[in-house]
Structures are given as structure tokens and as C-alpha cells.
């Protein structure tokens, strides 16, 4: 007795009867039990042969009999060849997606995990998790785990994929399930979780997770501890960050340039420049070379505090150390000089930037424009605005805000308002500072109708004015005999919960006869 495979839909069984004659029967007329084992083996071997030889076109007619059950067995047979397993799965997902189930994909993931193909695993997991709950996927992988003689790293990969996607609750659920079944996380996956938390500024949760890592005997590496230092610095706990930094060597780890830069940034953010410079000095003692980020961090810290002399000193040290300034360095200095209205020094920095072949970006031009506008040099600022077109750069909200500043400095509220209108038409969103500059400019020119119009635009964007500016406007309206309008505006802001805290609107209530007498 033998079974031959012809096409797909018709298997003919050639059976020799007692008389020696041969009878051809349809497979459907033969008892299932009689054919079951031989037919499955034949189909399986044929499928495997086509896959191994990459005869994909021959697989098309066989797809109706390629059930998820048969696919699982085929993947088990191919698990030593992850490339072929992946090719088969990709072909099926493209041509016959119904063949794949969560269970068959779990078999594929186990094969890839055994061969440490984690980037491919993450791509597949991202697609699976978009339509399946993480606990369902976990249990599917757990069910096929012993059958595939698999690697526990597949569970770690699920956690890491969720961590990269910032799906913290789902990642925590998977971690809980892993602990229940005796699986551990790798330090790399823990680092991915910490990194995602810090990216969203959840430093408190990051530190809690680090403590859980230590309880679970996951040994941190230098990248882990750098993130722990950063978390403490985010919370303003720079001293605790420094203590972690000091423990690195006790744990057999050497601080990297990132370790030092993180601490320097933490101290600069607290205004502790002396300590920041001491950490920089430690770099040399530890054999770690300060890089462009080190110097940029210090320059930025000094510029924020308007300590331009100190920032310039660090800038000179940077060049002496043969560390090339980049666009961030120059932009930071330009912004610092722009904020204090020193367009002359800003111009010198820009000239050096051009000489050194560092390409200017929109931040460069915004800083230059702001510096000029703060000094009321609006014509020179307009020259830089024209250069934006030549450089294919698009003005943004900061560009418009700087130009509005220039007109406000010159007490040209009407011109400032026209720039504001252009800003809105361009799709840029004015911030509270821009609105308050405009309102203040109108008030100085005693154009209170214009100020009210801007205030209404501000309220329409659900932005609240500050107390001093609102007081200035309300007093101005009172002097013009429009106290009722001031009161009406205050009541409107109060109803929309946009009235500044502690602002007393009753100061602007006047009796009708008082207002009439004016």
C-alpha cells in the first residue's frame, strides 16, 4: 500500500486487492483512521521540502491543508534554522495570514529567542501586542515554552518591548508574571524601563524600580547607575546622586563621561556652579576626558543665570582643550547674550560660528533677532529675518515673539499687533509672555481697546494673565471711565477660572454716578 500526493485537492490511494488488481480511490472514500498517519507524514514532508528548497510558489496550493497545528510542527522541525522559520512565517503572513495564530507565532518567537534575534523579536512583538493583551501573549509563550525547549529570554523580550513603548502598567504585569514563574529580567531590559520612565520625567517611579531591581538581585551596570544619578538630579536630590556616583567604584564600575556630565548638569540646575566645576576637575583625575556636552552644560548653566563672563571663560577653556564647539554651544551663548540685550557680543559669537563652518539653524537666528530687538534695533533684526528664506528656515513662535519684543521696546503697539496677527496666521501659538508684552505695550500707549482685544484672544486660548499686568489694564480702563468693562472682564475670567489667584476685582467697582461724573 502506498500514498502518492497529486496537487492538493485530490489524493489517490493505490490499493492492491486480494486478486492483485489496483484500485484508485478518492481520499475522501477511505476511512480516516486508515489514512491519518501516512497522510500527515506525507503532507508534512512535502511542506518541509518546499520550504527548505524555497519553492514558495508550490506552497500556494497546499495552504488549505497547512493548518495552525501542522504549522506548529513544521516550525518545531525548523527551529534550528531561524532564518528559514522567519521566511516561512513572513510568507504566510503576507499570502495566507489566517494560518498564523498567537500559538504559532509563539513557536516562532521561541525559535528566534534561542538564536538571540532580539531586534526581529521586538518588531514581531510590537505587532502582536497591538492586538493581544500582554498576559494572553505571556501564557501562550509559557504553554509552548517546554515544547520548544526554549530560552527564557523570550519573556524578557516581551517586557523590554513594552518598556520601549512606555507601556509601564503592561510591562509591570509581565514582570509580575515572570517572577511568579521563576523568570528573571536582564539588566538591559531594566535599563530600557528606566530610560523610558526618565524620558517621561517619572524619576520617582524609576528609583522605586531600581530598588526592586536590587531586591531581585539584578546587578546594575554603569548605564543603570547613570540613570539613577539622573533620577536623583531630576528630583533635585543632587547630593544623593553624588553618593550613587561615589559607590560606582565600590561596585566594580568605572564612571563614564555621562556619569560626570549628569552630575554637572544637576549642580548647574541648582545654581551650585562651584560644585559643578569641582566635578569637572574630578574628570581629569579619573582619566575621563571632558567632551562637548560637558562644556555645553556648564555654558548653559552660566547663561541661564546671566553670568555671561563665566560662560565665556568656559567657552575659552573649551577651545584650549581642543574640544570643537558645535551649534548647541554657539546657540547657547547667542541666546545668553540675546537675553541680556548684548547684540554686539552676540554678533561676535555669530561671526566666529560662521568662520568655523558651523551651520546656523533657526535657534541661531532667533537668538540674534532677540538680542537686536531687545535693544530696539528692529531694522537689523529684519535683515536676519530675510536670511531665513535664503537658508530655507521657517520662522517659528520664538521668531515672532522676538520681533514683537522689538516693536514693544519701541512702543509701537500697532506694529507689534500686526506681527502678532501674522504669527497666528502662520499657525504659531503665542505664549503667555507674548500676550503680556502686547497688553503692556498697548497700556503704555493708553490704547486700552487694543489691550482688551489682545486679552480676549488670550482668554480664548485659556491662558491666564498675571496680576500686575491685569491690574495695569483695569486701572487704565478705570481712568478712561470704563470701570464696568474692567469688572465685566474680571467676572468673565472668574467664571472661566482664569482670574489670577488673589486678584481683587472689587477694587475696580465704581458707582454709575462716579463714572458719569468723569
Q: Where are the domains of the chain?
A: 186-290, 323-430, 434-518
What lies within 8 Å, CB to CB, of 250 at 6+ separation is none
Domain 186-290: homologous superfamily in CATH: Tetratricopeptide repeat domain (1.25.40.10)
**DSSP three-state, residue 174:** helix
CATH topology of domain 323-430: 1.25.40
From CA 399, how far away is CA 394, in angstroms rounded? Answer: 9
Q: Do the two domains 186-290 and 323-430 of this chain adopt the same fold?
A: yes
The reported pTM is 0.78
- Tens place of pLDDT per residue across the chain (518 aa): 343 333 333 333 333 343 444 344 343 443 444 334 445 556 667 766 666 766 667 777 777 777 888 888 888 888 888 898 888 888 888 888 877 899 989 999 999 999 999 999 999 999 999 999 999 999 999 999 998 888 999 999 999 999 999 999 999 999 999 999 999 999 999 999 999 999 999 999 999 999 999 999 999 999 999 999 999 999 999 999 999 999 998 999 999 999 999 999 999 999 999 999 999 999 988 899 999 999 999 999 999 999 999 999 999 999 999 999 999 999 999 999 999 989 999 999 999 999 999 999 999 999 999 999 999 999 999 999 999 988 999 999 999 999 999 999 998 999 999 999 999 999 999 999 999 999 999 998 889 889 999 999 999 999 998 888 888 888 888 888 888 888 888 888 888 888 888 787 776 655 444 444 44
Say how many CA atoms lie within 13 Å of 286 toward its Cβ. 20
16 neighbors 22 (Cβ within 8 angstroms): yes
Report CA torsion sign: 225, 231, 233, 238.
Answer: negative
The string of DSSP letters for 27-40 reads: GGGS-HHHHHHHHH
Say how many CA atoms lie within 13 Å of 378 toward its Cβ. 17
| Ramachandran angles phi, psi of 105, nearest 5° | -65, -30
465 neighbors 435 (Cβ within 8 angstroms): yes
62 neighbors 46 (Cβ within 8 angstroms): yes
296 neighbors 332 (Cβ within 8 angstroms): yes
1 neighbors 37 (Cβ within 8 angstroms): no
Q: Which three cell numbers stand for residue 331?
A: 546657540
CA angle 130, 134, 137 (to 5 degrees): 95
Amino acid at each position: 500500500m502506498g500514498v502518492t500526493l497529486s496537487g492538493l485537492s485530490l489524493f489517490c490511494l493505490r490499493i492492491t486487492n486480494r486478486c492483485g488488481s489496483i484500485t484508485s480511490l478518492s481520499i475522501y472514500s477511505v476511512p480516516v483512521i486508515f489514512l491519518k498517519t501516512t497522510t500527515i507524514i506525507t503532507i508534512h514532508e512535502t511542506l518541509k521540502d518546499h520550504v527548505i528548497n524555497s519553492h514558495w510558489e508550490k506552497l500556494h496550493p497546499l495552504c488549505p491543508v497547512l493548518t495552525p497545528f501542522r504549522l506548529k510542527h513544521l516550525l518545531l522541525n525548523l527551529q534550528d534554522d531561524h532564518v528559514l522559520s522567519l521566511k516561512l512565517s513572513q510568507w504566510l503572513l503576507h499570502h495566507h495570514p489566517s494560518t498564523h495564530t498567537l500559538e504559532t507565532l509563539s513557536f516562532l518567537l521561541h525559535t528566534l529567542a534561542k538564536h538571540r534575534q532580539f531586534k526581529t523579536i521586538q518588531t514581531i512583538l510590537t505587532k502582536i501586542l497591538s492586538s493581544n493583551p500582554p498576559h494572553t501573549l505571556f501564557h501562550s509563550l509559557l504553554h509552548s515554552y517546554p515544547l520548544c525547549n526554549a530560552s527564557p529570554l523570550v519573556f524578557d523580550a516581551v517586557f523590554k518591548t513594552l518598556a520601549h513603548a512606555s507601556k509601564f502598567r503592561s510591562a509591570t504585569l509581565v514582570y509580575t508574571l515572570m517572577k511568579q514563574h521563576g523568570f528573571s529580567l536582564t539588566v538591559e531590559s531594566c535599563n530600557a524601563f528606566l530610560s523610558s520612565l526618565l524620558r517621561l520625567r517619572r524619576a520617582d517611579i524609576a528609583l522605586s524600580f531600581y530598588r526592586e531591581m536590587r531586591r531581585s538581585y539584578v546587578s546594575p551596570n554603569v548605564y543603570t547607575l547613570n540613570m539613577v544619578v539622573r533620577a536623583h538630579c531630576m528630583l533635585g536630590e543632587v547630593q544623593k546622586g553624588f553618593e550613587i556616583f561615589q559607590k560606582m567604584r565600590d561596585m566594580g564600575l568605572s564612571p563614564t563621561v555621562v556619569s560626570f556630565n549628569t552630575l554637572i548638569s544637576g549642580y548647574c540646575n541648582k545654581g551650585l556652579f562651584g560644585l559643578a566645576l569641582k566635578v569637572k576637575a574630578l574628570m581629569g583625575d579619573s582619566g575621563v576626558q571632558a567632551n562637548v556636552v560637558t562644556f555645553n552644560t556648564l555654558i548653559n548653566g552660566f547663561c541661564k543665570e546671566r553670568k555671561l563672563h563665566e560662560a565665556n571663560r568656559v567657552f575659552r577653556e573649551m577651545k584650549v582643550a581642543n574640544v570643537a564647539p558645535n551649534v548647541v554651544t554657539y546657540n547657547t551663548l547667542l541666546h545668553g547674550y540675546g537675553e541680556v540685550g548684548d547684540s554686539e557680543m552676540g554678533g561676535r559669537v555669530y561671526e566666529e560660528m560662521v568662520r568655523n563652518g558651523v551651520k546656523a539653524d533657526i535657534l541661531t537666528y532667533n537668538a540674534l533677532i532677540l538680542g537686536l530687538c531687545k535693544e530696539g534695533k528692529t531694522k537689523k533684526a529684519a535683515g536676519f529675518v530675510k536670511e531665513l528664506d535664503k537658508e530655507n528656515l521657517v520662522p517659528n513662535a520664538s521668531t515672532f515673539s522676538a520681533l514683537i519684543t522689538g516693536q514693544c521696546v519701541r512702543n509701537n503697539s500697532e506694529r507689534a499687533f500686526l506681527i502678532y496677527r501674522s504669527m497666528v496666521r502662520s499657525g504659531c501659538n503665542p505664549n503667555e509672555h507674548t500676550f503680556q508684552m502686547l497688553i503692556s505695550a498697548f497700556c503704555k500707549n493708553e490704547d486700552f481697546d487694543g489691550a482688551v482685544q489682545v486679552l480676549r484672544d488670550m482668554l480664548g486660548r485659556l491662558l491666564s494673565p498675571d496680576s500686575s499686568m491685569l491690574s495695569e489694564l483695569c486701572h487704565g480702563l478705570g481712568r478712561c471711565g470704563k470701570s464696568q468693562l474692567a469688572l465685566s472682564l474680571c467676572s468673565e475670567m472668574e467664571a472661566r477660572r482664569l482670574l489670577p489667584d488673589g486678584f481683587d476685582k472689587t477694587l475696580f467697582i465704581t458707582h454709575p454716578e462716579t463714572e458719569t461724573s468723569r
